[in-house]
Amino acid sequence: MSVSPSASETLLLLDIWLVSLLLALVSLSVLLWLILSRLHSQRKYLHLAERRKTLYSLFHTALQLPAPPTPDLLPKLGKSDYGIICSIALDMLRNLRGGERQRIVDLLKSWDTLPYLLHLLKQGRRGKRIQALSLIARFDTPEAEEILLKHIRHPDTYTQLAALRGLAARGDIRHLDQAVEALAQSNQRNTLMLADILSRFGDAAAPFLIELAGSDALPEVRSAAIMTLGNMRALAAVDSLIRLCHDAHPEIRAAAVAALGEMGDSRAGDAAVLLLRDEAAPVREQAAHALGLLVFQPALPALAACLSDTAWWVRFRAAEALHRLGDRGLAMLRSVSVQPDEAGRIARDVLAEKEVA
Amino acid sequence: MTGADWVEWISWAILAIGLLQNVIYTVQLPAAWNELRAHSQADDTESSWELLISHTTLPISLLVPAYQEEATIVSSVRSMLALKYPQLELIVINDGSKDRTLERLIEAFSLDAIARAHDLAVPHAPIRGIYGSPAYPQLIVVDKENGGKADAINAGINIARNPLFCVVDADSVLEGEALLRAVRPFMEDPQRMVAVGGAIRILNGCTVKAGQVTKVGLPRQFLPLLQTMEYVRAFLMARLAWSRWGMLTLISGAFGIFRRDIAIAVGGFSHNTVGEDYELVIKMHRWLQKRKQDYAMRYVPEPVCWTEAPDTLAILGNQRKRWQRGALEVFFKHRAVCFNPHYGKLGIIGFPHNMLADVLGPLAELIGYAFIPFFWYMGFLNTSFLLAFLAVFLIYGVFVSVSCLILEEMELKRFPKARDLAVLGLVSIVENFGYRQLNNFWRIVGWWQFLRKQKSWGTMTRRGF
């Protein structure tokens, strides 16, 4: 009994053997080359580490001088030094404040690092691009501003955030309208990071944020604008946010009522009470939470009704809000706590947690 | 059919299965590379820094199930409390330990009994007490009756208050910035992202100080060294590729971040399988696909959880048999997904691949090792067939492993020395001659245990670091 493959089958079998062997040998060769490259770069790395120490000392010395050193006093840099000084500058800028930061930036300018940073922007991968933008943002030149404005439309969302962060760091809201337009058209979805950056523009950004919140941008972008308005306690936005409590997107309704709760303006109370009956549980939850922050007494009956909501988080936030309403809220919680149902259970649990059972 | 026909049919079937697996590995490599390049966080120190200082992260509940961990629990908790993450709640679940795990925690962190309102969203064994500390407001300790790891995690899910949770083993070491890196996909795509997996790497051979890995090194023992290569292959190639294709079916229970609301919707971690982490992900897929909800799951290679690898054959064998049992339990429980177009590409490609890798693959390989050389020796098959078999099941594995190392070196460079790469390069050759076959044997034993409905976890003796 013997199986004899046909000629084509034999050829296929031998091809499998040869291709596998070839691939294994090629991959081993590539790995060997990488190992040798690593050995070479390990030596180079030691040299770079020494060079970094030298340049770091230079930065420290420059910071301690009474006046910034002029370019002719600074040592010339080699090609490989630019990466090191930019890395040192980023490290130091994270830890320094005030005039010392400006000294770092002046050093970078004296060494004419801008062409290197522009090269990184063009050729570097995302991480390097963001580092370059972070440094360029410190340059108080029209060219730097132009670069940042160009990159607020970058298709990579992290690069866009870095450019916006850079604009915010310059404390200049002249271009906020362009930023808002860019965001309205972007696919930015990082609500939290965007909200943090928008808040760095300061109170003067409120009108732009109100516009962005009501635009037809992605819900994530609008939510970021709303969140920022809440964090800023921009009372001028209250009416707009109350209108947004009726938005078609549940994320927007939730964000709007949450922001109104942060602002603490009692005008939002009625709108929040209405949202306790919203079809989306996250909206109801935020509304209950907001009513607790607002300490809106007229909401007591509606909050008590929410203790029987189907969603645990709505029940929990309603119980917490009742607790915040003071004696009347506590009395309501205690009276419900004897019930054998879910409302009674959440009332008991929250009372126990707040240690007022 | 004659005897010769059977020999030919079996031989070609085994070869075809092996070839198919190799083709899949081959296409995984460029997919993994593309995913790395598209989402690499390797150079992006600025974004991590901004996340750290701005406190604009999504809050995470870190769930740490603990059973009989009195020797190491306090140091583990201290290291987790030191993680660089602004909004973190650490929930340690003492799963009915018979030693002094709970007492050690109470003493070390000045814990008092507290009340904590929570939803009984997913079932678990009764909770005996909940503890907190004014000195460590982010720490909650849950003491409950023993119910197993899945049960303990479910208790943690109920107690957790944050929208995301991450399960970490009590004896694992999370890198300081691991959560900052792992949370980013959720922040980038908050509406769609439901689960993110991070990398697991082998702790053996590394230097650990104050609960952090201060120096990365290769294991000195051969078995953990082999596993180091395995983990590089599994996490750097397979997970990245399936993440790229939107068909990630396994997020390791040792380091995964999940949306709490979705985990609750699917009933939490299942008690009746040893592959509870795999099963959670499949349940999530099914639930979301049924609702035609647009969602995403991603694997991120930069955040690392270091874990101790077994260093004896007995313990390693138990682990691999358990993994195989878990894979089979989950596959057969959810077999309705396989080739089912209602589950989209998961049903047509992803889950059938799991069938190939977990169900058919080990059997085909075993039959191949048993019969192909025998058939050749008896003259039933010619040498070209034997060579092709060796190529598919031995030589090609070298190419796949070495390619993963190349990917690691080009994109991540986590091994500090050139010597480490050289050693792993040698391992990637050696592992195919003996270790791979041993693993296959364990997988077959796992198959047998599955058929006999065996449930135990076996023992994992940890040396600690």
B460: closest CA of chain A, how far (Å): 35
Helix (H) or strand (E) holding B90: strand B88-95
- Whether B383 has its CB under 8 Å from any CB of chain A: the answer is no
Asked whether the beta carbons of residue B395 and residue A192 sit closer than 8 angstroms, the reply is: no
- Whether B409 has its CB under 8 Å from any CB of chain A: the answer is yes
- pLDDT tens track of chain B, all 465 residues? 787 788 888 889 999 999 999 999 999 999 999 998 888 777 788 887 888 777 788 999 999 999 999 988 998 999 999 998 989 999 999 999 999 999 999 999 999 999 999 999 999 999 999 999 999 999 999 999 999 999 999 999 999 999 999 999 888 899 988 999 999 999 999 999 999 999 999 999 999 888 888 999 999 999 999 999 999 988 888 999 999 999 999 898 889 999 999 999 999 999 888 889 999 999 999 999 999 999 999 999 888 899 999 999 999 999 999 999 999 999 999 999 999 999 999 999 999 999 999 998 899 888 898 888 888 888 888 888 899 999 999 999 999 999 999 999 988 888 888 899 999 999 999 999 999 999 999 999 999 999 998 766 655 555 555
Interface probe for A, chosen from B41, B47, B298, B429 (most Cβ of A below 10 Å), is: B47
Q: Do the Cβ atoms of B395 and A24 come closer than 8 Å?
A: yes
CA distance B309 to B462: 9
Nearest CB neighbour to A34, from listed B46, B54, B409: B409
Complex-level ipTM: 0.90
Q: From residue A256, how far is each of A216, A260, A325, B54 by CA, in Å?
A: 15, 6, 22, 22
Asked whether the beta carbons of residue B191 and residue A189 sit closer than 8 angstroms, the reply is: yes
Tell me how far the alpha carbon of residue B461 is from its chain's centroid: 19
Q: Do the Cβ atoms of B206 and B309 come closer than 8 Å?
A: no
Interface probe for A, chosen from B5, B46, B237, B414 (most Cβ of A below 10 Å), is: B46
- Whether B41 has its CB under 8 Å from any CB of chain A: the answer is yes
What integer is the mean pLDDT of A313-327?
Answer: 97
Using H for helix, E for strand and C for coil, what is the string for B239-307? HHHHHHCCCCCCCCCCEEEEEHHHHHHCCCCCCCCCCHHHHHHHHHHHHHHHCCCCCEEEEEEEEEEEE
Q: From residue A158, how far is each of A90, A136, A144, A175, A296 by CA, in Å?
A: 17, 16, 18, 19, 40
CA distance A15 to A110: 62
3-state helix, strand, coil in chain A (%, to 5): 75, 0, 25
- Whether B294 has its CB under 8 Å from any CB of chain A: the answer is no
- Whether B398 has its CB under 8 Å from any CB of chain A: the answer is yes
**How many residue pairs from chains A and B have C-beta atoms closer than 8 A?**
173
B136: closest CA of chain A, how far (Å): 17
Residue showing tokens 């939510």: A223
Per residue in B260-275, pLDDT tens?
A: 999 999 999 998 888 8
User: Which candidate, B311, B324, B338, B317, places its Cα nearest to that of B274?
Assistant: B324
Contact residues, chain A, for B15 at CB < 8 Å? 16
DSSP secondary structure code for residue B206 in this structure? -
CA distance A215 to A208: 11
Q: Which residue has the higher pLDDT, B463 or A122?
A: A122
How does strand B255-259 pair with strand B193-202? antiparallel
Interface probe for B, chosen from A6, A12, A16, A200 (most Cβ of B below 10 Å), is: A16
Where does residue B163 rank: exposed (0-12), middle (13-18), buried (19+ CB within 10 A)?
middle
Where would I find the H helices in B378-434?
383-390, 396-407, 418-430
Contact residues, chain A, for B119 at CB < 8 Å? 312-313, 316
Lowest mean pLDDT among A93-107, A182-196, A305-319: A93-107
Q: Do the Cβ atoms of B202 and B307 come closer than 8 Å?
A: yes
Asked whether the beta carbons of residue B54 and residue A193 sit closer than 8 angstroms, the reply is: yes
CA distance A305 to B322: 49
Helix (H) or strand (E) holding B361: helix B361-377
Nearest CB neighbour to B4, from listed A2, A31, A219: A2
Q: From residue B367, how far is each of A20, B9, B234, B364, B372 by CA, in Å?
A: 21, 13, 24, 5, 8
Asked whether the beta carbons of residue B387 and residue A5 sit closer than 8 angstroms, the reply is: no
pLDDT of B9 reads 87
Asked whether the beta carbons of residue B50 and residue A17 sit closer than 8 angstroms, the reply is: no
Q: What angle do CA B120, B121, B123 make, to 5 degrees?
A: 75
User: Which candidate, A292, A215, A296, A214, places its Cα nearest to that of A258?
Assistant: A292
Q: Residue B200: beta bridge partners?
A: B305
Helix (H) or strand (E) holding A18: helix A7-64
DSSP secondary structure code for residue B238 in this structure? I
Asked whether the beta carbons of residue A353 and residue B115 sit closer than 8 angstroms, the reply is: yes
Contact residues, chain A, for B3 at CB < 8 Å? 1
B371: closest CA of chain A, how far (Å): 14
Q: What angle do CA A321, A323, A327 make, to 5 degrees?
A: 125
CA distance B263 to A302: 30
Q: From residue B114, how far is each of B111, B139, B141 by CA, in Å?
A: 9, 12, 10
Contact residues, chain A, for B383 at CB < 8 Å? none
Contact residues, chain A, for B425 at CB < 8 Å? 28, 31-32, 35
Query: What does the radius of gyration of chain B's CA atoms come to, in whole angstroms?
Result: 23
CA distance A126 to A90: 16
User: Which candidate, A139, A135, A49, places its Cα nearest to that of A92?
Assistant: A135
What's the token pair of residue B270? 């299942």
Asked whether the beta carbons of residue A17 and residue B119 sit closer than 8 angstroms, the reply is: no
Question: Which residue type is seen at B311?
Answer: D
How does strand B193-202 pair with strand B112-113? unpaired
pLDDT of B256 reads 92
Segment 66-95 of chain B within 8 Å of chain A by CB: none
- Whether A311 has its CB under 8 Å from any CB of chain B: the answer is no
pLDDT of B21 reads 92
CA distance B406 to B428: 12
Asked whether the beta carbons of residue B395 and residue A196 sit closer than 8 angstroms, the reply is: no
Helix (H) or strand (E) holding A305: helix A300-306
Asked whether the beta carbons of residue A127 and residue B46 sit closer than 8 angstroms, the reply is: yes
pLDDT of B61 reads 97
Nearest CB neighbour to B4, from listed A3, A30, A42: A3
- Whether B345 has its CB under 8 Å from any CB of chain A: the answer is no
Q: Do the Cβ atoms of B138 and B77 come closer than 8 Å?
A: no
Nearest CB neighbour to A196, from listed B54, B117, B119: B54
Q: Do the Cβ atoms of A328 and B91 come closer than 8 Å?
A: no
CA distance A196 to A190: 10
For helices B396-407 and B418-430, the axis angle rounded to 10 degrees is 160
Q: What angle do CA B246, B350, B236 make, to 5 degrees?
A: 65
User: Which candidate, A289, A229, A213, places its Cα nearest to that of A258?
Assistant: A289
How many residues are present in chain B? 465
Strands across the sheet containing B193-202: B112-113, B127-132, B139-144, B88-95, B60-66, B164-168, B255-259, B193-202, B296-307, B173-174
Asked whether the beta carbons of residue B46 and residue A162 sit closer than 8 angstroms, the reply is: yes
Segment 256-285 of chain A within 8 Å of chain B by CB: none
pLDDT of A7 reads 85
CA distance A24 to B460: 35
Q: Do the Cβ atoms of B85 and B60 come closer than 8 Å?
A: yes
Q: Whole-angstrom distance between the N-terminal and C-terminal Cα of chain A?
A: 86
Interface probe for B, chosen from A9, A13, A228 (most Cβ of B below 10 Å), is: A13
Place A35 in a pLDDT band, splitting at 50, 70 and 90. Answer: very high
Q: Do the Cβ atoms of B396 and A25 come closer than 8 Å?
A: no
**Residue A41: closest CA among chain B residues belongs to which residue?**
B418
A154: closest CA of chain B, how far (Å): 15
Q: Do the Cβ atoms of B309 and B203 come closer than 8 Å?
A: yes
pLDDT of A356 reads 60
User: Which candidate, A316, A318, A323, A294, places its Cα nearest to that of A305?
Assistant: A318
Asked whether the beta carbons of residue B402 and residue A24 sit closer than 8 angstroms, the reply is: yes
Quick check: helix, strand or coil at residue A357? coil
Q: Do the Cβ atoms of B332 and B349 come closer than 8 Å?
A: no
- Whether A174 has its CB under 8 Å from any CB of chain B: the answer is no
Segment 43-72 of chain A within 8 Å of chain B by CB: none
Segment 183-202 of chain B within 8 Å of chain A by CB: 187-191
Contact residues, chain B, for A219 at CB < 8 Å? 191
Q: Residue B143: beta bridge partners?
A: B94, B129
Q: Do the Cβ atoms of B240 and B32 come closer than 8 Å?
A: yes
Q: From residue B311, how far is each of B318, B319, B342, B434, B440 by CA, in Å?
A: 12, 11, 43, 16, 18
When mean pLDDT is compared over A47-56, A277-286, B267-276, B418-427, the highest value belongs to A277-286
Contact residues, chain B, for A26 at CB < 8 Å? 399
Per residue in B35-76, pLDDT tens?
A: 988 887 777 888 878 887 777 889 999 999 999 999 889 989
- Whether B410 has its CB under 8 Å from any CB of chain A: the answer is yes
Quick check: helix, strand or coil at residue B143? strand
A72: closest CA of chain B, how far (Å): 31
CA distance A163 to B305: 32
Contact residues, chain A, for B180 at CB < 8 Å? none
**What pTM did the predictor assign?**
0.92
Nearest CB neighbour to B190, from listed A2, A161, A189: A189
